[in-house]
Structure 1
Amino acid sequence: MFSPFFSIIIPCFNSEKTVYRCVKSVINQSFSNYEILIIDSKSSDNTLIEVRRFNDFRIKIHSHLDLGVYDAMNKGINLARGQWIYFLGSDDVIYSEHVFQNIYRYIYNENFSVIYGNVKVFGDVGWAKDGDIYAGKFSKNRMLFKSICHQSILYKRDFLILNNLFFDLRYPVSADWHLNLRCRRLTKFKYVNLIIAVFTAGGISTLKRDTFPEQIKTEFADLFPSRGEVILNKIFKLIIRIFK
């Protein structure tokens, strides 16, 4: 029985213009032990015809009505059989053909549950410009003010399932940010200086807002540094500056 290492989850809805290029960027990977889960929201165009052109046993199509992209991603988590889960937008692409091979080298025999890198931005968005590399290493404090792009992050499936970590549908734009903070509360993240994907502007995260940013200080108050930690951090930075 085929046992994939990675599960690549691609939510779709009327994505006929972009989905072939998206899936092809996965099919072209030099690392081949993965499955692709197409979570389609009953597209009325040729999205599924474009996907079926590949005729690849690793591609699994699930087409049912859903409550939006995060609901589709939650369904993907439950359907995934891989050890590691990765979410890719249907209008995004993997950055190069060796991305999963390089990630596998970092993951293999390592004991962490979340790994992330960078994305290259295609088109202008509110938080980055066309061509920017977003966004380097995130400290715990930085995560409280800015989100790690979900096209640059991978999660160990067992970690998500055992801790009941799914996307909260109360946040139609920021559910990935919310999930990452819940994960960070439980474990440290591993950063690798790799470009994972090309993120295309124009999705829900660039067009809408929700209430989550205003609720961070309440729900995740325990993650904010104490006054003592802030003072010690300032002293440490001052000492480093003096020695330099």
Structure 2
Amino acid sequence: MPTVSIITITYNAERFLERTIQSIVAQKETDFEYIVIDGASIDGTREIIDRYKDHITTLISKPDRGLYDAMNKGLHQAKGNYVWFMNAGDELYDAQTLPNLLTRIKATSADVYYSDALFVRDNGVPVGLRSQVTPHILPHNLTWHDMSLGMKVCHQAFVAKRDIAPNYLVDNLSADLDWEIRCLKGAQKIELLPFILCKYLIGGLSVQQHRRSLTDRFKVLVAHFGLLTTLINHGRILWRASRFKSNI
């Protein structure tokens, strides 16, 4: 069994997929598997996948019910001890990222590893670290309670043991927030890494459908923290947003 399963979800992403695959091919480590779940793309995505087929352990290309249905497919295919989602357009930070992660795993065997993420635009130009360009300051000792004001850790900078990783909510645009909370609830040992795990392509599904994403986030937070706490915290979220000037 590989130590890490890296999973990429893609659909009609010919503009961005190759940078993701290249960042994984560049890793100076072999103790991982690479799973690609494609939603039956009709652009040039499959041609890109085929060019790198020797580096892909498992490929599924068929219609799905959306992003989180596809992520569940990837999760069910994974054989590694840890799962790490790196979707089309996102990248491992540099060629030493996976070796550095595996070194920490062998040393500490934590249930969850997390770090900061470098935000980049679709042309690859860096925007800045997520903890600096958003209101989400990265906790040094992360627990699920830290998520009461929203997603403290970028999903692509969050690596969890497969045996504590639940299925994603299929019809909720904040399913990644729910997934992280449930992983953290099931974790006994959580470790902040001293290096950046990923480059994150800004402008994903939740940004494109912002209003529904906010509603779905509210539902997730109510499920974990209760209605009264969530109402109070949303006042804090709005106050924080009004004071924060984003560079994104």
Report the TM-score, using the length of structure 2 for normalisation.
0.78
Q: Partner residue of 1:235?
A: none
Between stretches 207-216 and 57-66, larger displacement belongs to: 207-216
Which has more radius of gyration? Answer: 1
Which AA in structure 2 matches 1:31?
E
| Distance change (3 Å), C-alpha of 1:107 and 1:98 | same
Q: Partner residue of 1:136?
A: 138
1:217 is displaced (CA, Å) by 5.0
C-alpha distance in 2 between matches for 1:84 and 1:42: 26
Q: Partner residue of 1:221?
A: 225
Q: Secondary structure at the match of 1:35?
A: strand
C-alpha distance in 1 between matches for 2:62 and 2:155: 23
> In the alignment, which of 142, 155, 158 is matched to residue 153 of structure 1?
158
Q: Which runs of 5+ in 2 are unaligned?
A: 132-136, 230-248
1:221 is displaced (CA, Å) by 2.8
Between stretches 40-49 and 50-59, larger displacement belongs to: 50-59
- The runs of at least 4 consecutive aligned structure 1 residues that moved more than 6 Å come to none
Deviations 1:117-143 (A, max 9, x none): 11101139xxxx922343522454331
| Distance change (3 Å), C-alpha of 1:80 and 1:140 | closer
Which AA in structure 1 matches 2:147?
M
Q: Partner residue of 1:122?
A: 120
Q: Partner residue of 2:170?
A: 169
| Distance change (3 Å), C-alpha of 1:15 and 1:217 | closer
User: What is the aligned residue count?
Assistant: 213
Report the TM-score, using the length of structure 1 for normalisation.
0.79
Q: Secondary structure at the match of 1:182?
A: helix
1:207 is displaced (CA, Å) by 1.9
Q: Secondary structure at the match of 1:193?
A: coil
Contact 1:34–1:58, Cα closer than 8 Å, also in 2: no
> In the alignment, which of 2, 5, 10 is matched to residue 3 of structure 2?
5
Aligned counterparts, 1:1-244, within 5 A: 3-123=1-121, 130-134=127-131, 135-137=137-139, 138-147=142-151, 148-160=153-165, 165-171=166-172, 173-188=173-188, 189-208=190-209, 209-210=212-213, 211-221=215-225
Between stretches 77-86 and 56-65, larger displacement belongs to: 56-65
Which AA in structure 1 matches 2:113?
I
C-alpha distance in 2 between matches for 1:78 and 1:151: 18
C-alpha distance in 1 between matches for 2:41 and 2:147: 34
C-alpha distance in 2 between matches for 1:214 and 1:158: 27
| Distance change (3 Å), C-alpha of 1:168 and 1:206 | same
Q: Secondary structure at the match of 1:131?
A: strand
